[in-house]
Amino acid sequence: MIKKQVDFQIATYYYPSDADRMRKEVKAFQESGWEVMQPLLGGVRKTHGGADTDLLFLPVAKYVYVDEAVAPVAVAKKAGRPPKEA
């Protein structure tokens, strides 16, 4: 069985104001078969009131398992001197 990626999305959130929405959406992603990856910090932004807020990017991907034969990996020859001629 091979794990193949069939879809990919990036969700964006402002932390801490979107924290509750982020938790709900992550739970919904996981329940529908999406794999949630490590959040990425997109930097600090200012709100309309001038307070600092973090921009988070949350990558999610959907995978399926497929029955496929895995091709063997070709092994390269060792680098070295060419053989001596007689």
Q: DSSP label at 72? A: P
| Mean of the per-residue pLDDT values of the chain | 86
Spell out the domain ranges in the chain.
2-45+52-66
What residues of the chain score a pLDDT lower than 70? 70-71, 86
Structure tokens at 14: 């402002």
- Count of residues making up the chain: 86
DSSP string covering 9-48 = EEEEEEETTTHHHHHHHHHHHHHTTEEE---EEEEEEE-T
Q: What is the pLDDT of residue 28?
A: 94
